[in-house]
Structure 1
């Protein structure tokens, strides 16, 4: 069963091979980590905004999935504006805290950088089913099947852990021991959940071994993962956008090496 809702799964980006999306996301992230500038990050953010309608996400889904990144970007920008390196004209000063032209420019660059790195990752995981990603990593990227399938099984169990946490809370509340001492309740419930997770993990490992997972023979796959021309085109366009962003930043003199 797919973890991606049908509306998103029918979108154009969702039909792209997960490996192609992962390559583009890694290319964007690694490249933008090398520099703190407004131009390169701004170009990537603009392109990502243009791609949002093709992801199949509603406004509410997009807001929920990107809210942590937006909050982090804003907080990072504010902290940089207040405590960043002072340069140029001073706009405000309050003791050791000063807001200058240089710190504001750096704050905008940090904000755009967080958005440019985080939002493509959100689109990757929001439009990709974990099983499809595992198939592409094992068949196309040639990663060890034991590692890929183990990670897939762990990811599939996240939903069960959330259900167990809710069931534990309801059970403790029914017994009248979950209304007070929030920290103690959290620690006891977390310990119980850990015991459940270890037991379920042991049973799952035994079941997977019984089905031949991790054997020495070459395994078969229920679904083939292939790179189609649109997947190659997606990777080329993604790499081209990153290259254009870096080239533009270098030509305009805004590229700043972090290392």
Structure 2
């Protein structure tokens, strides 16, 4: 089961090497982690949205992937507004609740920062097949083959676990044990899925060991992972986005080095 949900033939990003996509996301992420300010995060997010059409990712698919992170970012921002370090003009002060210009600015910076890091990561890896990523990590990044193949096998089981959860729910409803007590039903179904995952993982580990995946000998690969000019272009684009975002923050005076907070 592939985790890629778009037509790879229609997406220019799908033809970029997975290692280049990983490097691009790391470049943008590290640049944004150096400062907590709304300017660098906002500029980076805006530039990312400008190149988003290259992914050919349907908006519904993007929203389904982004909304949990956006919700978490909104909750974190709300907490920062209410309990953030006060600075500048104080708008509301009631007990430990203090809403000031500083807390509002910090909340906006956190919201934009999370989205600016999450959106390019989600978009790039939505156009990446897990097998291609494993090939790139093992052949180009020279990571241990046992680690890469084990991670790939575990990732492939995610889809099966989702199907198992659905089937467990149907089976419990058919037996009449899921009609009442939602919390009890979820707890019991989670434990059943946990046991099933352990059994499936044990069988998978035994099967992979029997097929020689645990050997320490150098192995061959069915598909060769290579770097091309478009891969360098992907990384350079990420460097350009990060550089423009940082420069804009420094020029406007909003740059706030994270270690100075």
Whether TM exceeds 0.5 here: the answer is: yes
CA–CA separation in structure 2 for the residues paired with 1:142 and 1:107: 40
Contact 2:8/2:15, CA 8 A, preserved across alignment: no
CA contact (8 A) 2:41 2:116 kept: yes
Pairing 1:33–2:33 present: yes
Partner of 1:83: 83
CA contact (8 A) 2:6 2:57 kept: no
The alignment's C-alpha RMSD in Å is 1.8
**Equivalent residue number for residue 199 of structure 2:** 199
The unaligned stretches of length 5 or more in structure 2 are: none
Relative to the length of structure 2, the TM-score reads: 0.91
Q: Which residue of 1 aligns with 2:166?
A: 166
Alpha-carbon distance change, 135 to 97 in structure 1, aligned in 2, over 3 angstroms? same
- What CA distance in whole angstroms lies between the structure 2 residues aligned with 1:126 and 1:25? 13
- Report the more deviating stretch, 84-93 or 56-65: 84-93
Query: Is 1:22 matched with 2:12?
Result: no
Change (3 A) 1:176 1:208: same
1:61 Cα deviation after fit = 1.3
Cα–Cα, structure 1 residues 124 and 96, in superposed 2: closer, same or farther, change >3 Å?
A: same
Shift of 1:134: 0.7
Q: Deviations over 1:57-113 (max 9, x none)?
A: 112112211111222222222222222222223334445433322222222211111
- Alpha-carbon distance between aligned partners in 2 of 1:131 and 1:217, rounded to the nearest angstrom: 21
Change beyond 3 A, Cα 1:225–1:46 = same
Aligned length: 259
Shift of 1:6: 4.5
Q: CA deviation at 1:219?
A: 0.8
Determine the structure 1 residue equivalent to 2:245: 245
